[in-house]
Structure 1
């Protein structure tokens, strides 16, 4: 994803990048062969009874480089703002990292990540979420450097094969939430992503 900066064009607004979540490198890794990447994305999520619901900012940080002559990655963090769900219930949706990622792109996909969609509200326990889902994203639309912001690139991602399963850990409100949200349900996740990286 290494992209050279562009100059000589009007700047567009871009998010702020914070490298505080850059992970420690594996034992034996040469820092000169590694970089930390921060992806900041917004977009829409379609599932159940919600069509193209705007999803607030999600920030994903990871490192990638070479270890023992082979490509390697280390996850840093996923931090997402809660997205209030439309309708009368005071419930918000927040993506959480669910233990697996691979952002080494190939011809079949741009990357993949396991997510759980946490449901937050005044009457819901902290354990309330969807069971984890495996998201495989494809590049969507134009991609390239952002004029006026050296080192920043922009691209689109889409997962049209995502499924949001029924909730778990929501207590007695679980079945009510599933009916209200229309879960389990096929889903489509569209994202606009800004990325910036730095060395170690």
Structure 2
């Protein structure tokens, strides 16, 4: 995947319109986590919900940097999103997710990205296992969905892979949509980015993907067939991820020192 130069202006989808904010962007480096809102595609814009501000951001998941890079030119970015997901027959507003990654120039001048971490929690699927009101009334019939990092990301181009774990009292822990091959998203901008704050930097954006395909759930034991019929999987069309997000960032020289000396140790480049 790509690697990046931190000192140039951000990509078009994150460049603010005012000259003062452009100056902030130039000093701070390319505002790249909004790269998940990759541009050049139109879509209906919608108002982003109020998300946690930079003051509430936790930089504890900032990854270790590759060897021989300049920590003053690498940023750790913390990104909180409130996704809405339609896959197959199911439409849910997912619980907020938080993703952390680092980016900056490699020693050879190419662009680098290092994955940090993703945190999420389950969201109940209305109707539970049977897909009927009884599923909401009986706890044992409950069914929930939880997004997990799928092992691939490119925040410059808006590419992201996720798996979706299905949970419930009767559902095996291994039951997952995209267990063997994750769901691949190519996010596109659905509205302009907005700077909420310049110091600390806080940017909001919205993105979407309506062209991804969803595989069948796997490793669900005897519930595999019934669950896939219940959820309408696999689904090759009619799927939608709407993605409202807020993010902030710090360069590595602004981060407090850690015991593992994270500014010097190598990390895993994001794919």
Give TM-score scaled by structure 2 length.
0.65
Give the whole-Å Cα distance in 2 for the aligned partners of 1:148 and 1:30: 23
For residue 119 of structure 2, what is the aligned residue in structure 1?
A: 79
Select the residue among 189, 193, 198 that pairs with 1:139: 189
- Structure 2: tracts of 5 or more residues without a match: 1-9, 25-48, 128-134, 136-140, 253-271
Select the residue among 205, 216, 219 that pairs with 1:169: 219
Residues 1:66 and 2:113 are matched in the alignment: no
Identify the structure with the greater helix proportion: 2
Select the residue among 230, 233, 237 that pairs with 1:180: 230
For residue 108 of structure 1, what is the aligned residue in structure 2?
A: none
Give the whole-Å Cα distance in 2 for the aligned partners of 1:14 and 1:179: 35
Give the whole-Å Cα distance in 2 for the aligned partners of 1:104 and 1:71: 10
SS at match of 1:95: strand
Residues 1:28 and 2:68 are matched in the alignment: yes
Give the whole-Å Cα distance in 2 for the aligned partners of 1:147 and 1:72: 26
Residues 1:98 and 2:137 are matched in the alignment: no
SS at match of 1:180: helix
- Equivalenced residues, count: 188
Identify the structure with the greater strand proportion: 1
Give the whole-Å Cα distance in 2 for the aligned partners of 1:127 and 1:29: 39
Give the whole-Å Cα distance in 2 for the aligned partners of 1:14 and 1:176: 36
Give the whole-Å Cα distance in 1 for the aligned partners of 2:251 and 2:192: 26
Select the residue among 109, 116, 129 that pairs with 2:163: 116
Q: Deviations over 1:44-98 (max 9, x none)?
A: 11122224x2111011110000012111000001111211101014111111111
Bigger Rg, which one: 2
Give the whole-Å Cα distance in 2 for the aligned partners of 1:13 and 1:189: 19
Which stretches of structure 1, 4 residues or longer, exceed 2 Å deviation after superposition? 1-5, 147-150
Select the residue among 102, 123, 128 that pairs with 2:175: 128
Give TM-score scaled by structure 1 length.
0.87
Give the whole-Å Cα distance in 2 for the aligned partners of 1:151 and 1:41: 16
- Structure 1: tracts of 5 or more residues without a match: 6-11, 106-110
How big is the alpha-carbon RMSD for the aligned residues of Structure 1 and Structure 2?
A: 1.9
For residue 131 of structure 2, what is the aligned residue in structure 1?
A: none
SS at match of 1:153: strand
For residue 268 of structure 2, what is the aligned residue in structure 1?
A: none
